[in-house]
Amino acid sequence: MKLQYVWSKVFKKIRGSAVLKSSIHPTSKIESGSNIVNTTMGKHSFCGYNCDINNTEIGSFCSIANNVVIGGGMHPIDWVSTSPVFYSGRDSVRAKFSEFDRVSMLKTKIGHDVWIGQNVLIKQGVIIGNGSVIGMGSVVTKNVEPYSIIGGVPAKLIKMRFEEVLVERLLNSEWWNKDDNKLKNAAKYIQNPKMFLTLIEE
């Protein structure tokens, strides 16, 4: 059983990831089975297994779990048909009856220090605020406020992570842009936001 487990883990890893026209910071990681297209990712962020991320800006210190879909394409719902046989570009079906252009895909923006749970779907063009948390299995169709915790289908506000004054201090500090050495020094207070900010704000 142990050998089977090891082989399973190895196979999961060797599939590799597909990254196209994207910029991923050297300190960040994309796990196997994920497809990343036209996307940027800041420092110390990661994307789990089997994610599909398209046309998205991802900040620093973000945690994206497995099977997350961000910024997928949309079919034209104001045309007679939503079928890809009527619009331009390569698709799953080969036939082309006409080749009209669809509206350009909107950029999706994921802030800094965002945690996105497993199996989350995020509609293209949505803006996810800094420090927010998206519960597993959520479907996000609207912008998300900084430091909010949301969940559900469609996703709704559950609660705020911190009181308003502390949220404002965290946002103003922009700690995610600080030098790594400064962050290492303040990390001893990571469990105490106020003490952490006191060192960061010096």
- In the chain, domain spans: 15-161, 162-202
Task: Name the pLDDT band for 75 (thresholds 50, 70, 90).
Answer: confident
Q: Is residue 106 pLDDT above 70, yes or no?
A: yes
Query: Which of 25, 44, 75, 112 is the catalytic position?
Result: 75
Q: Which CATH superfamily is domain 15-161 in?
A: Hexapeptide repeat proteins (2.160.10.10)
Give the gyration radius of the chain's Cα atoms.
Answer: 20
pLDDT, greater one: 154 or 19 = 154
For 128, the enclosing helix (H) or strand (E) is strand 127-128
pTM of the model: 0.89
75 flagged as catalytic:
yes
Q: What average pLDDT does this structure show over 176-187?
A: 96
pLDDT beyond 80 at 13 = no
- One-letter amino acid of 132: S
Work out the burial of residue 77: count CB atoms within 10 Å of its CB; fewer than 13 is exposed, 13-18 middle, 19 or more buried: exposed
